Amino acid sequence: MRFRIVWTPQATIELTDVWLNAANPAAVTAATNAIDALLAADPYAVGTHSFATVYECAHGPLGVEYEVDDANRSVSVLNVWETATGRPNPTGN
């Protein structure tokens, strides 16, 4: 069974900022689509456990922090960053 992916407003703002400032916006778009597909298929196989229900992963130029909700079969993307600039401080849930 697949997971539903929800990008929080904060993550959407961060993704937009990364995309607008990217040297290669197409690579950011491709990474976003790949992250969506990977998290929907199996969020536990993709990321590294940070704490509680929060994980993080990187794919191409993007890194994401996300939370898995097994009861609702959903994944909430909490934060997004450009891997070249490094990961910001974790926010958690």
Q: List, for residues 48-66, the tens digit of each pLDDT value.
A: 998 888 999 999 999 999 9
CA 24 – CA 46 distance, rounded (Å): 24
- pLDDT, tens only, 13-58: 999 999 999 999 999 999 999 999 999 999 999 999 988 889 999 9
| Confidence (pLDDT) at 45 | 94
Q: How many domains does the chain have?
A: 1
- Give the domain range for residue 47: 4-82
This prediction has a pTM of: 0.90
Query: Is there a domain that residue 93 lies in?
Result: no
Query: Is there a domain that residue 88 lies in?
Result: no
Q: Give, in order, the Cα–Cα distances in Å from 23 to each of 2, 28, 30, 53, 66.
A: 33, 9, 14, 33, 25
Query: Is there a domain that residue 75 lies in?
Result: yes
Query: Is there a domain that residue 90 lies in?
Result: no
Query: Is there a domain that residue 73 lies in?
Result: yes
Tokens linked to 26: 């197409």
